[in-house]
Amino acid sequence: MALDFARAADLFCGSEKELAMALNIDVGDLRQYRTNPRLVPDVLLERLGRVLIERGSGMKRVGEMLVENSR
């Protein structure tokens, strides 16, 4: 199972509007790319990767804070 735009977009864990804003694209374009990931330009795929990395780093830090505060 290859990782494509549609699967990566599902990992964002936010609304379509939030993801479109993070990627600086219209919601309609986002829906089109999720339907047909082959249409996604490489620059947008890279942008999604960077957004997921940033979001993941933030989630990791929040998780670390929760663990620290639970001790």
pLDDT in tens, 7-38: 888 877 789 999 999 999 999 999 999 999 99
pLDDT at 8: 80
Could you list the residue range(s) of the whole structural domain that residue 39 is in? 5-69
Q: If you average pLDDT over every residue of the chain, what do you get?
A: 90
Q: Is residue 71 pLDDT above 60, yes or no? A: yes
Give the whole-angstrom CA distance, residue 51 versus residue 55: 6
Q: How confident is the model at residue 65 (pLDDT cuts 50, 70, 90)?
A: confident
52's tokens? 């997921």
When pLDDT is averaged across residues 56-63 and rounded to a whole number, the result is: 87
- What's the total number of domains in the chain? 1
Contact criterion met (CB below 8 Å) for 6 and 36? no
Q: Which amino acid is at 15?
A: S
* pLDDT given for residue 36 in this prediction: 95
CB 38, CB 9: distance < 8 Å: no
